[in-house]
Structure 1
Amino acid sequence: MKKVLIAIDYNPVSEKVVKEGYELAKTLGAEICLVHVLDDLGYYTTNYPTFLGYEGYPGIGPDYNVAIEMRTIAEDFIKKAADHLDDPQVKTEIIEGDTAKALLNFSEEWKADVLVMGTHSHSVLEKLLMGTVAEKVLEKTRIPVYVVPVKQ
């Protein structure tokens, strides 16, 4: 395995996902790419405490510039997450779309050998109605997925 793709989001549990994924990649001597998906704007209105050296973002309401603002915020987030690793070889990528589909498409495009991602605690109702990103990825993936349990 020569390429490890690590999926992160704005939830503080991403710190554990990055740590585990980075250790896996280093053990394998693999290239590393942190990836973040710009998806539903509702995800971007929750303020979290500082993690991975990222101090969060101000709550902003949707307006005609929201896509540009969200991209700028995402670029800042992923840059700080990569800087936190203090490894200039770590690549970063921001992709857009439905999270599961975007991750699957990018993992093929980048020719990843493994995708590292976390699981979030969701309510039973949420899981029943929508499933989870991890479940959707596992259902359609063509590469191994290293799922980091991050139960809060």
Structure 2
Amino acid sequence: MLNFSNILVAYDGSTSSMKAVKMGIEMKKQSNAALTILHVLEETTGYIPVQSTRPDTVPTGGMGSVDGLNIYTHNARDDAYREQKVAVQNATTEESINEVHSLLAQERVNAAVEVLHGDPAKTICNFAEEQATDLVIIGSRGLGGLKKLILGSVSDKVTNTANCPVLVAK
């Protein structure tokens, strides 16, 4: 078996990412590597896209178009939406991180747990490089059909971009 000294697990609260956490814990136990669990929160813009039906009008919030130019505006409703979305995201993150801490305590494993903001794939790869990670473990959420074709999955992007081996947990 390969010996890794610095393992990074990308965790987003999904079932497959919890499998990645469990794999990271087992690998740490076998090799005594440093283990970091990273949760990345996507940035929230809070702007609700609204298409104008007339080219000479600009909506009160969201995105509109005038003479082919995209115009972004926002109002108090957008700010309230953003605040609500951030509150839900924070509560979900706290619950997910508590789940990880409980598992680490149950398994009696020491690990760093980090929460960062940004594009998940880019943030994971940048963090892995900054921390001299020699293995990234990530879950495969299994985006289906058109969404995966258009957006790609975070695990695909990390696998293709990271400067170290990537293990995808299914």
Q: Structure 1 length as normaliser, TM-score?
A: 0.74
> What's the CA shift string for 1:122-144, capped at 9, x where partnerless?
21212211111111111111011
Counterpart residue number, 2:145: 124
Superposition deviation, residue 34 in structure 1: 0.9
Q: Distance in 2 between matches of 1:38 and 1:31?
A: 23
Contact 2:128 2:162 in 1 (8 A): no
1:90 aligns with 2:111: yes
Q: Choose 1 or 2 for highest CA Rg.
A: 2
Question: AA paired with 1:140?
Answer: T
User: Match of 2:33?
Assistant: 30
Q: 1:26 to 1:64 in 2, by over 3 A?
A: same
Aligned to 2:127: 106
Q: Runs of 5+ in structure 2 lacking a partner?
A: 45-79
Alignment correspondent of 1:52: none
Moved more, 130-139 or 9-18: 9-18
2:83 match:
64
Query: Bigger CA drift: 63-72 or 114-123?
Result: 63-72
1:88 positional shift: 5.4
Question: Is contact 1:4–1:31 with CA below 8 Å preserved after alignment?
Answer: yes
Give per-residue Cα distances to partners, 1:53-107, cap 9 Å, x unaligned: xxxxxxxx83436436634542442133122221352110001111100101111
Q: Aligned-pair distance for 1:37?
A: 0.7
Deviations 1:8-54 (A, max 9, x none): 1122333222111211222221011111110166xxxxxxxxxxxxx
| Aligned 8 A contact 2:104 2:110 in 1 | no
Instruction: Give the whole-Å Cα distance in 2 for the aligned partners of 1:113 and 1:121.
Output: 25
TM-score, structure 2 as length reference: 0.67
Q: How many residues align?
A: 130
Aligned partner of 2:11 among 8, 11, 30: 8
CA–CA distance in 2 between the matches of 1:90 and 1:108? 18
Output the CA distance in 1 between the equivalents of 2:23 and 2:153: 20
Q: Label 1:127 to 1:66 Cα distance change in 2 as closer, same or farther (>3 A).
A: closer
